[in-house]
């Protein structure tokens, strides 16, 4: 379906929903009450089955806002608090999750208060929903609290929902944090409200070097919330210099209209103005619109807007009830263009303004970028169905090998195959399947698929079945061609990266533990590295016979014995395919050789069964 012909969904729908509920106004009321509290203050209020928690924005933030030394890797400080976010990404990247150290320090100071921590955990168990909110720096505290509660939900039996609303909050972390939140499907739990000209949310997008004396007041904004009007009493000349400097830096640190920098937004951003509101969830579009709207501001508004959220929130509900239309000259060509035009009106941008074209492109980009990953995912599903025959042919080949009179089994039959047409066909299918899954990994790493792709049940199970079926063939080919003598053994030196990524997908899946016992052998060996371990064990066995060093001999025997116990336990639990216990399989021949070696060494007790 053509993007231009589709309805405009990015802005008006969520904004209209929020405006139709008292959630925004009640959240701001609690924020105003919390801002009267001292450092590390907060307000908790029970409304029916919902608990509302508001954090004070009057906080002292350690360090300067643009000091790179303030970056903190989340797994260094919050590994126990945010375990889903601190693990490495599902598609094999080691990108760290970084947050501003001063902002994290504020939340940790509150978390380390037993009264606060125990109270929040109790509310998590006894409430249906928890709304977390905060103004200015209190908003970043609310975001971290919400992330902590969402992390707790994964390890508890609570069914509570968590939603976070911030007002004029600075950005919190890097792209790694944004990706991790998208991967956990938590973006919909966050709504960041910001006015058109508020400086605070844009403060971390620029280097705030104190080259202008009045910029010390901006740093004072950072260190003390705008909950107190007296902190903002600046001369008009000072405001002009601050506005000019910030605008100049925003323009200097943009590339083709897209802001550069280390900090990235996450969740939904609710841009409010006197004319209405617009909601975006695409990080690139959010930063772009933050830039464009600030260009339309004035020196007085860039600071004072940080205090006007109460006025904006109070008008939003009535503004969405107003009917809007277009003049004859402004009449859009399609419903999609009408949606874009209404969104521009809601953000306070008129058709005649110079930034209108850039803002319109920004909204269209948000729509396009939001749809493309899901469209790509749908197309991949079609391609997956088209490669199913290749997989089915390999399954058929495995069945024939298991029923063969040579009793070698699937792995050894492929490893020792001849030049038959059937064997060549299976090897070709192996390469075709590998190309498909390698393309999937490349699309993930190029951000062409949804961030939670590796958590979707369909793809987790499809990749796992592919790995169980095909990796034994890859191992057989590796040792057939003698690559272990060139590069080293398969597990450390030959395993394809896609299998390592699929391992993470499988381990990270949501599952229920069960203790059922298999009544027959598995259709596919559950440890896809089993045959690679057999090959290593065969080499250890050969090395034992020529080993004269007692220490080295004892070390080899210990490794062999460990593998024997491991393999025997797999066979006993029937977690291997029946090709493993075929009479002439590599494993059974290894068991026979190990039995003979133990007999030669004077060991009579056998720990493994004989087949």
Catalytically active residues are 136, 198, 306
Residue 239 contacts residue 229 (beta carbons within 8 Å) = no
- Cβ atoms of residues 459 and 505 within 8 Å: yes
DSSP H or E segment with residue 259: strand 258-259
Q: Tell me the C-alpha distance between 602 and 122, whole Å.
A: 63
| Beta-bridge partners for 279 | 270
Report the DSSP pairing between strands 258-259 and 254-255.
Answer: antiparallel
> Whole-angstrom Cα distance, residue 157 to residue 149?
13
Q: Are 204 and 66 in contact (CB under 8 A)?
A: yes
For the record, the structure tokens of 26 come out as 């009640």
Cα four-point dihedral sign 166, 146, 62, 31: positive
Among candidates 13, 5, 1, 16, which has minimal Cα distance to 335?
5
Residue 370 has which token pair? 């939001």
**How far apart, in whole angstroms, are the C-alpha atoms of residue 355 and residue 358?**
5
Cα-Cα-Cα-Cα dihedral sign, residues 426, 427, 428, 429: positive
Could you write out the three-class secondary structure of 507-549? Answer: HCCCCCCCCCCCCCCCCCCCCCCHHHHHHHHHHHHHHHHCCCC
Tokens of 357: 């074209």
Alpha helices in 87-164 (DSSP H): 101-111, 114-126, 137-153
Closest CA to 24 of 266, 310, 281: 310
Using CA atoms, how far apart are residues 503 and 433, in angstroms rounded to an integer? Answer: 17
**189 within 8 A of 122, measured Cβ to Cβ:** no
List, in order, residues 6 or more apart from 227 with CB less than 8 Å away: 32, 35, 36, 56, 57, 58, 135, 136
């Amino acid at each position: 379906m053509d993007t231009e012909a589709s309805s405009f969904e990015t802005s008006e729908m969520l904004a209209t929903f929020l405006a139709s509920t008292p959630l925004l106004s009640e959240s701001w009321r609690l924020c105003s009450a919390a801002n009267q509290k001292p450092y590390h203050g907060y307000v908790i209020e029970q409304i029916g089955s919902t608990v509302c928690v508001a954090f004070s924005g009057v906080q002292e933030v350690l360090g300067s806002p643009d000091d790179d030394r303030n970056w903190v890797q989340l797994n260094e400080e919050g590994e126990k608090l945010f375990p889903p976010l601190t693990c490495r990404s599902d598609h094999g990247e080691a990108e760290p999750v970084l947050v501003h150290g001063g902002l994290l320090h504020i939340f940790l100071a509150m978390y380390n208060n037993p009264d606060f921590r125990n109270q929040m955990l109790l509310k998590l168990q006894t409430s249906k929903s928890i709304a977390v909110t905060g103004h200015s720096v209190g908003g970043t505290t609310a975001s971290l609290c919400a992330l902590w509660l969402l992390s707790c939900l994964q390890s508890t039996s609570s069914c509570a929902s968590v939603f976070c609303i911030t007002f004029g909050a600075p950005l919190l972390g890097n792209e790694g944090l944004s990706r991790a939140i998208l991967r956990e499907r938590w973006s919909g739990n966050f709504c960041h409200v910001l006015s058109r000209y508020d400086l605070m949310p844009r403060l971390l997008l620029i280097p705030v070097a104190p080259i202008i004396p009045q910029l010390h007041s901006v740093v004072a904004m950072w260190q003390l919330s705008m909950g107190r009007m007296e902190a903002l009493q600046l001369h008009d000349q000072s405001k002009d210099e601050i506005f000019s400097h910030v605008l100049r830096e925003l323009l200097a640190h943009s590339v083709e209209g897209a802001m550069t920098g280390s900090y990235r937004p996450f969740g939904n951003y609710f841009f409010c103005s006197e004319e209405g509101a617009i909601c975006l969830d695409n990080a690139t579009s959010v930063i772009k619109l933050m830039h464009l709207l600030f260009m339309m501001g004035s020196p007085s508004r860039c600071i004072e807007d940080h205090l006007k959220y109460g006025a904006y929130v109070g008008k939003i509900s009535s503004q969405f009830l107003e009917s809007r239309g277009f003049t004859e000259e402004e009449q859009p060509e399609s419903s999609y263009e009408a949606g874009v035009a209404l969104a521009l009106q809601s953000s306070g941008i008129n058709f005649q303004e110079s930034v209108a074209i850039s803002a319109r492109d920004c909204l269209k980009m948000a729509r396009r970028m939001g749809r493309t990953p899901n469209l790509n995912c749908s197309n991949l599903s079609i391609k997956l169905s088209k490669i199913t025959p290749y997989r089915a042919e390999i399954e058929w080949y495995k069945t024939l090998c298991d029923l063969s009179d040579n009793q070698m089994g699937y792995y050894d039959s492929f490893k020792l195959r001849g030049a038959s047409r059937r064997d060549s066909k299976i090897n070709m299918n192996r390469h075709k399947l590998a190309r498909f899954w390698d393309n999937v990994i490349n699309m993930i790493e190029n951000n062409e698929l949804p961030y939670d792709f590796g958590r979707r049940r369909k793809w987790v199970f499809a990749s796992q079945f592919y790995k169980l079926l095909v990796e034994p063939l890859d191992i057989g080919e590796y040792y057939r061609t003698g690559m272990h003598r060139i590069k080293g053994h398969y597990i450390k030196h030959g395993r394809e990266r896609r299998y390592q990524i699929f391992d993470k997908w499988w381990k990270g899946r949501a599952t229920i533990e069960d203790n059922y016992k298999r009544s027959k052998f598995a259709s596919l060996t559950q440890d896809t590295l089993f045959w690679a371990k057999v090959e290593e064990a065969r080499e250890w066995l050969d090395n034992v016979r020529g080993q004269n060093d007692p220490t080295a001999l004892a070390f080899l025997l210990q490794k062999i014995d460990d593998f024997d116990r491991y393999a025997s336990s797999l066979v006993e639990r029937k977690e291997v395919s029946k090709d493993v216990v075929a009479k002439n399989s590599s494993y059974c021949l290894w068991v026979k050789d190990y039995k003979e070696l133990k007999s030669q060494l004077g060991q009579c007790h056998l720990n493994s069964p004989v087949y």
